Amino acid sequence: MAFLSLTNVRKVFPNAQTAAVEDFTLDVEKGEFVSFLGPSGCGKTTTLRMIAGFETPTAGAIVMDGKEISNERPNQRNIGMVFQSYALFPNMTVADNIGFGLKVKGAPKTDIKQRVTEMLALIKLEQLGGRYPYQLSGGQQQRVALARAIAIRPKLLLLDEPLSALDAKIRVSLRNEIRAIQRQLGITTIYVTHDQEEALSLSDRVVVMNHGVIEQVGQPFEIYNFPKTAFTASFVGTLNMHDATVLDAAAGEVRLAGASIAVPSAALGGHRAGDTVKVALRPELLYVHPTGAAVENTLTGVVENVAFLGAVARIHLAVGDTTILVDEFNNPQLSVPAIGSTLTTYFTPESCMVLG
């Protein structure tokens, strides 16, 4: 049986028109790292707060380690929590913050001291135990908050957008640190974020949410490459998504931006010639056409813009009146096409996703 089970959980806030969370069912295995991913107001934080005990579900059951906890008080659940705003106690030193949970539980002083030392080593802040929170940088404060949550040896660790308040560079290094610590301790973890790269790179499984309901649950690779809904496809990663007209469903042929394109015929099952479908393509699966080579599925257009994103150069290609994004991996010898020049791109039929 799963370590944490949410069954048909629903939350309606007083005076609210619609449910904040609707029919949320999820099993989390022991030691798993699961992310809740979605835009603001999608219900991800509300769900997390119900698990923590800060909100009471309107309906449904939350079972942890075989025990129904929906009606337990938050201070009885033994669940560690990390907040976006760090929420360190300003009147206590770093060491006292980390030791607070054990002190509340009446642990002996020597035990607390030992555990605090252990935690400080884990977050690599051995020297800063005597500092006050306001003397630390944002990244350091959040590491202390993580140590404080872990110090009580919680059954479950919850993180509510822990990196949102930090700079881009620190976000990346701290997320790797969080993942490493989670792996090392094997602690079951739920992570809330609106940043798809964070969710993909950290998680064993990602729960994509929108308007209070689950859109898809799956491994990062699955979510990214095989999205089940248009929302998941467009929210996770960059996407070319355009309307296409079915030409021949059995042969897997559609008309996209004026060109005849082959897509997996299985994806057109149930459609008839003349139907409009959405065809989605990841920019990194479009390739610049080598001059002279004959390949299928080509689109030819005019380069509108080339945005250099670092590891990737993104070409905006105007094909008819639609703009197609083509990603190329950076290299120092890269010759980006000139703006206004004509370019042909090609892609495999298998890389086309047909949605709705």
Sheet holding 59-64, edge to edge: 21-28, 4-11, 59-64, 67-68
Give the separation between CA 52 and CA 80, rounded to whole angstroms.
8
Instruction: Find the shortest distance in angstroms from Cβ 335 to another protein.
Output: 41
Residue carrying structure tokens 């670092």:
310
Are 40 and 131 within 8 A, CB to CB? no
Q: Which is nearest to 118 in space by CA: 152, 86, 89, 142?
A: 152
- Helical residues (DSSP H) of the chain, grouped into ranges: 44-52, 94-104, 109-122, 138-151, 168-185, 196-202, 220-225, 230-235
In the complex with another protein, the residue whose CB is nearer, 55 or 327, is 55
In the complex with another protein, the residue whose CB is nearer, 73 or 272, is 73
In the complex with a copy of itself, the residue whose CB is nearer, 10 or 194, is 194
Instruction: Find the shortest distance in angstroms from Cβ 30 to a copy of itself.
Output: 19
Please list every residue from 2 through 61 that binds another protein, using CB under 8 A: 52-54, 56
Number of residues in contact with another protein under rule CB under 8 A? 32
In the complex with another protein, the residue whose CB is nearer, 53 or 129, is 53
Q: At what angle do helices 109-122 and 138-151 cross, to 10 degrees?
A: 140
Q: Which does 81 bind (CB under 5 to 8 A by kind): another protein, a copy of itself, none?
A: another protein
Q: Which does 119 bind (CB under 5 to 8 A by kind): another protein, a copy of itself, none?
A: none
Q: DSSP 3-state assignment of 248?
A: strand
At 167, the amino acid letter reads D
Q: At what angle do helices 138-151 and 94-104 cross, to 10 degrees?
A: 20
Examine residue 131 and tell whether it contacts another protein (CB under 8 A).
Answer: no
Binding mask 284-323 for a copy of itself (x = CB under 8 A): xx-------------------x-xxxxxx-x---------
Please list every residue from 151 through 180 that binds another protein, using CB under 8 A: 152
Part in contact with a copy of itself (CB under 8 A); list of ranges 98-106, 113-121, 219-227, 270-278: 219-227
Residue carrying structure tokens 């579900």:
57
Examine residue 132 and tell whether it contacts a copy of itself (CB under 8 A).
Answer: no
Binding mask 173-192 for a copy of itself (x = CB under 8 A): ---x--x-------------
Q: DSSP 3-state assignment of 8?
A: strand
Please list every residue from 30 through 89 that binds a copy of itself, using CB under 8 A: 39-40
Give the separation between CA 104 and CA 353, rounded to whole angstroms.
54
Give the separation between CA 286 and CA 345, rounded to whole angstroms.
6
Part in contact with a copy of itself (CB under 8 A); list of ranges 50-58, 123-131, 273-281, 333-341: 333-341
Residue carrying structure tokens 């248009």:
230
Examine residue 283 and tell whether it contacts a copy of itself (CB under 8 A).
Answer: yes
What residues pair up with 255 in beta bridges, in sequence order? 245, 260
Part in contact with another protein (CB under 8 A); list of ranges 84-92, 185-193, 264-272, 337-345: 84-92
Q: DSSP 3-state assignment of 106?
A: coil
- Cα 245 vs. chain centroid, distance in angstroms? 32
Contact residues for another protein, defined by CB under 8 A: 52-54, 56, 73-81, 83, 85, 87-91, 100-101, 104-105, 132-135, 145, 148-149, 152
Contact residues for a copy of itself, defined by CB under 8 A: 39-40, 167-169, 172, 176, 179, 194-197, 200-202, 220-221, 224-226, 235-238, 282-285, 305, 307-312, 314, 327, 329-334, 336, 350-351
